[in-house]
Amino acid sequence: MKKDIQLPEVTNVFMAIVKEYNDTFKCEDWNAYIINNKEVELEMVLIVSKGYDEDKLIETAVLRHKIEKLPAQSFAKVELLQEDVLKLTNFFNVTFFEGSTMFDKKFVFEKGTIKEGNLRMVPTLNKRGILSK
């Protein structure tokens, strides 16, 4: 049964980790964003995230997020990443519908890659961050 389910390849949807200033708390925060660079909106976007380090047998709680509709050529903030989580491998499993077709993709930020030296301009966000494809 499971082998009969065909999931098409995900294109033009990305996850980004961005370091940005928090005006409320007057500090720098790391935030995860989902980016929809498609020409169509995404529906029922489900994002499951987790941090882990297989060497040290450490893992975070699993977080789940839902976005009803993500318009074409847009983005949404998914979650705040605490400093301790940046040392871990972080993954975001994204599932969504485009029309009546379901898509699923796992975005991974390997441990040690979420750091100041890896920040680049993320065009859609117009902010400096790390993009996972």
* This prediction's pTM: 0.92
CA gap 97, 104 in Å, rounded: 9
State mean pLDDT over 4-17: 89
**What is the CATH code of the structural domain delimited by 2-132?**
2.60.40.1600
Banded model confidence at residue 56, pLDDT cuts 50, 70, 90 = confident
Look at residue 78 in the predicted model and tell me its pLDDT: 98
The CB density around residue 24, as the number of other CB atoms within 10 Å, is 6
In percent, the amount of the chain with pLDDT more than 70 equals 96
In 3D space, the residue among 64, 76, 70 whose CA is nearest the CA of residue 45 turns out to be: 70
Examine the pLDDT at 3 and tell me if it is beyond 70: no
